[in-house]
Structures are given as C-alpha cells and as structure tokens.
Amino acid sequence: MSSDRAALEHAIERGEHEGGSVEFKERLTKNLHLADGRFESLAAQLRHRVLSGDGEATYVVGVTDDGGVAGIPPETFSESMDVLSLLAEEAEVHIADVQTWSTDIDAGEEGLVGVATIREGTAIEDDKHIVVGTAGHVDHGKSTLVGSLVTGQADDGEGGTRGYLDIQPHEIERGLSADLSYGVYGFDDEGAVRMDNPHRKGDRARIVEEAERLVSFVDTVGHEPWLRTTIRGLVGQKLDYGLLTVAADDGPTRTSREHLGILLATELPTMVAITKADLVDDDRLSEVEREVEQLLREVDKTPLRVARHGVDTALDEIGETVVPVVTTSAVTGQGLGTLDSLFERLPRTGPEASQEPFRMYVDRTYSVTGVGAVASGTIESGRVEAGDELQLGPMPGGGFRDVEVRSIEMHYHRVDRARAGRIVGIALKGVEEAEIERGMALVPREADPDPVREFEADVVVLNHPTRINNGYEPVVHLETVSEAAAFYPHEGRLLPGDSGGARVRFKFRPYLVEEGQRFVFREGRSKGVGTVTSVSPDG
C-alpha cells in the first residue's frame, strides 16, 4: 500500500471529463459490468481514455463520479481489479501499475481506493526472454555485477549497486544476501534498456513494458550456511543459463567449486565472470584466469576466454562442454559490454513447453492489500491467464484446493497472461496466504494430479565421506521442494562416484513429482544428483 497520496490527489485534481484520460469508478462488479452490451461499451470507453492520453489512461477506483473518495471493501476492490483486467484485455491495453490507499467507510470499516495506470499494448510475448541464475562465493561480487548490468551504473567500490536488486533492507545493511533476489533489464533496437531508479517498482515494470528482449536474473546466496537457498535458486527456477562469479582478489574457493558442480550437475549452460579486476594487478589477474581455466578442466569443461576468441565464438560454442569466461569490473565497467552482447543474443535453452498443460511450483508467497494471496515462482510449462481456474497443492493432507487466478505480475508489471519460463506472481482467489507453502504446485482444474511420498530414481553420488546405505536421509531439492527424504539404494549401498538406482521417500509429506525431473540431494558436504524414473502415487 502506498503511503504517499500525491498520485491519488493528482488524478482527482485532473478530474474526469469528456476527451480526457482520467476515469472515475466507484466500483466494477462482474454481475453488472460484464453483462452483454455493457462489457463492450466499457471496453470501448477504456480504449478511448487510453487514446485520449496518448497511450496512457488513469482509472481511479473507489471514488464517486464527482471525485469524492468513497472507498470500497477490499473484496470489492479485488473484484473491480478483476473486471478492469478483463476490460483491458478486450481493449487491447494492459494495466501497468496499481497503487492503493486505505480510507474509512461505513461504521469505521476500512476500505480501499486505488489508482490504476493503463497503457496501450497487450501483455508482452515470451519468446525473447532468458533467465540467468548467478552463483559464487560470498563477497565475490554477484549482486554488485548484476546491479551494474541492470542499471548501467558503475559501482562505488563498496558494493553499492547490489542494493538495486529485489532484496531485503537487513541484507543491504549487512552486505550479505540471505535469500534469492531478482533483477531485470532488456534490449530494444537501440541497445540496452536499463532501470533509472531501481528502488521504484514502477521502473522494473517499465523495463518489462518497453524492452523487446528481457533478461531476468535469479541472484543466489554466496554465504555457505545458506547453500540450501542457493540450490533452491538453481534447481527450483527454470533457468536458461548459469553465471558463476569468481573474485580476482580471492580466486576459486571451495564454495566456487560447489556452486559450479551444482550448475553443471543440472546440465545448465554456464558462463564464468571473473569479478573485481580493478583490485589486482595484471599478474594476479592472469593467475586467477589460469586457476579458473584449471577448475573448469578438472570437471571436463573447456574454458573459452571471450576476450581472446570473441562474442560470436562464445555464442556458438557455449553449451555442454564449453564455458565462456569474461573478466569484469563493476567499478570500471570492464567486461560489462561483453556480457551485454552475450545476454542480448543468447537463445533460450529450456524446452519449449508452452503447449503442455500449465504447471508452476511455488517458490515464495506474500499478500497484497486489495489483491490477496500471491504465489510466486517460475512457470514450468503451459500458459496461464487471469481468470483461469486452477488447483493448488498438495495440501498437508495430500489433496488439492480449487483456486482462481485473480491477476498476474512479472517484475511488478501486471500482465494478462504468461507462459513457460516466466518468473511471475499469481494472485489467487480461494486460498489464504498462510495456507500456501513453498514446494506446492499450481495445475489446471481439470488435471488429476497424484501426489507421491516416494519415487524411483537414478542417482549419482558426487561426494560422500563413506557410503550411502539404506535409510540415508539427505535433503532433496526438486523444483522448489526442499524436503528430508530417505534413500534405499537398489544394491544396498552407493559409494562416492557410484551411480545406480534408488527408492526415495519423503519424510514428512507428499509432493507433485513426475518422471524425468532432476534433483539435487545434500547432507553436510555430501551431495549428489538424480533423475526421477518412476513415481508411486499414495493410496
């Protein structure tokens, strides 16, 4: 909720008049405003307002025709936004931003009034959008590098640009990320489209609206105690590429090796950015470049120095065996143009899953005033639109809850629809935010999902001090699920470096698991990877 009422006061002051771009609506209801004839008329009115405002209109909801602030109950405000979204889709425009304020209504009950900014053009298409996951040791400059990329601003040498990502205030204060954070920038015919004021949510929305090609970053956690969160970021998001950072003043560390192992184990095309080049002399920089190349060769990958071989070669070669290496400095800007050139042209690598049924695993939840519960995550397959009827679950008892898509947001940009690969927040009707948990999935209402407590898998033990016996209990990271599970190797045991079949059983509750899904398992410094080969629905 916005505390500054200036936008509301300005909209009311401009007023509603013929030929203007401002429209007052006390409320919009499905029964009245979606009726035959009425719906088409209101959509035409909306289109007229947008054209009158040279591509932008302002709808003030919760005010009377003369601009009096009336306020409406939160549930009525949500319904009004639903109706406005449908009108926008019909008029081939979109809701770019919504600001809300509280106000008293009858008998002291709190109501809402809101200002919706509506702009020309429908929701953007998804075919030119890549998602990049960053990894690397703490203080190796992941967030700072991404902050400089999305803003085009040089860092101050103190990690100032890291604060431009979608992170929490206590993380900025401590200088350490404790959860996944997100950034976005894009490209059009004239080059990079970056954020002017990253602290404004509307600026992120502007990138999504203006750019013809988008690059979303999922910035993971470098501090070792939060490795579980890093694995969630690299496994639970539908990433196209991985970007490992190694600081020139430190070189590859054990955490660098572990993060690289996770990236490669999930078969993600990966790049390495050597950061903080401004802090060392040429001899030290060359030494770290050699250390990075040796690290890659140790895991049977071929390093490719982009400065030597060029961006075109890197674009052609990146993949299963070749890892491009770029030397960078967020302070001087060294290498950032090279990364821009790569991100502008790198193709999507994930499977084309937009024709499959919709499915999204929940990664985060939150509640928005006037909207309600929101489930956030990366769409794994299919498409979703405002108004779609879905199922959410499994709930703790194993069942699924019927829900409805109220609205969809991406980087604070409200869209009418989205498809596989998008990182979105989906506002849901029919469930409270406290009932939604990470690891749950959203699927179509007509689907018949079978939650499972156990499944069969082919696993590879990457590291373990002794051997894995029946009953071994690591944490399994599958999609956004992070759950303790017991392993029962088919041969009774698995040694480090071994591969083989195993039965895996979640310790506490069932989840939606499907054949072919890859996962990482970890317990202490022990880790491995696996692929689901068959599932066993609970009876």
pLDDT at 125 over 60: no
> Residues 114, 136: one domain?
no
Which residues share a beta bridge with 483? Answer: 476
Maximum mean pLDDT: which of 28-32, 36-40, 271-275, 457-461: 271-275
In a domain, 350, yes or no: no
In a domain, 21, yes or no: yes
Which residues share a beta bridge with 521? Answer: 476, 528
In a domain, 1, yes or no: no
Instruction: Detail the DSSP E strand segments found in 34-139.
Output: 56-61, 93-104, 110-120, 129-136
pLDDT mean over 495-518: 90
Predicted local distance difference test score (pLDDT) of residue 3: 47
> Residues 88, 200: one domain?
no
Predicted local distance difference test score (pLDDT) of residue 525: 65
Predicted local distance difference test score (pLDDT) of residue 201: 59
> In the chain, what percentage of residues exceed pLDDT 90?
37
> Residues 252, 167: one domain?
yes
In a domain, 290, yes or no: yes
SS3 for 352-404 is CCCCCCCEEECCEEEEECCCEEEEEEEEEECEEECCCEEEEECCCCCCCEEEE
pLDDT mean over 65-70: 89
Q: pTM surpassing 0.85?
A: no
Domain interval for residue 504: 452-537
CA atoms within 13 A on the CB side of 30: 10
Domain final position from 444, 469, 499: 444
Considering only residues 58 and 166, tell me which one the structure prediction assigns the higher pLDDT.
58
The residue whose two tokens read 């080969």 is 533
Considering only residues 3 and 436, tell me which one the structure prediction assigns the higher pLDDT.
436
> Residues 79, 146: one domain?
no
What amino acid occupies position 262?
A: I
Considering only residues 201 and 24, tell me which one the structure prediction assigns the higher pLDDT.
24
In a domain, 71, yes or no: yes
pLDDT at 174 over 70: no
pLDDT at 448 over 60: yes
As given in the structure block, the two tokens for residue 519 are 């996962």
126 close to 418: Cβ distance less than 8 angstroms: yes
What amino acid occupies position 44?
A: A
**Strand, helix or coil for residue 270:** strand
Lowest mean pLDDT among 87-101, 195-209, 299-313, 402-416: 195-209
pLDDT mean over 320-343: 96
How does pLDDT run across 248-306, given as a tens digit for each residue? 999 999 888 888 887 877 778 999 999 999 999 999 999 999 999 999 998 899 999 99
pLDDT mean over 116-131: 68
In a domain, 172, yes or no: yes
Which residues share a beta bridge with 403? Answer: 390
CATH number (domain holding residue 377): 2.40.30.10
Q: Please, what sign has the CA dihedral across residues 395, 400, 405, 409? A: positive
Tally of domains within the chain? 4
In a domain, 70, yes or no: yes
388 close to 430: Cβ distance less than 8 angstroms: no
Dist. CA 74–CA 111, nearest whole Å: 6
Helix and strand counts by DSSP (H, E) for the chain: 13, 30
Band of pLDDT at residue 105, cut at 50, 70 and 90: confident
> Residues 392, 499: one domain?
no
In a domain, 488, yes or no: yes
> Residues 180, 273: one domain?
yes
> Residues 309, 415: one domain?
no
> Residues 190, 43: one domain?
no
Maximum mean pLDDT: which of 45-54, 150-159, 283-292: 283-292
Count Cβ neighbours within 10 Å for each residue of 269-283 and write b for 16 or more, e otherwise.
Answer: bbbbbbbbbbbbeee
The DSSP output letter for 307 is H
Q: At CA 376, angle to CA 434 and CA 474, rounded to 5?
A: 80
The residue whose two tokens read 């809701």 is 95
Predicted local distance difference test score (pLDDT) of residue 436: 95
As given in the structure block, the two tokens for residue 140 are 């190796």
290 close to 283: Cβ distance less than 8 angstroms: no
Domain final position from 444, 462, 479: 444
CA atoms within 13 A on the CB side of 396: 5
> Residues 213, 65: one domain?
no
> Residues 323, 407: one domain?
no
> Residues 48, 99: one domain?
yes
Nearest to 101 by CA among 201, 12, 5: 5
> Residues 172, 230: one domain?
yes
Domain final position from 97, 120, 143: 120
Cβ burial of 224 (10 Å; 0-12, 13-18, 19+) is middle
CATH number (domain holding residue 75): 3.30.110.20
The residue whose two tokens read 């500054």 is 4
How does pLDDT run across 333-381, given as a tens digit for each residue? 999 999 999 999 998 775 554 568 999 999 888 887 767 899 988 888 8
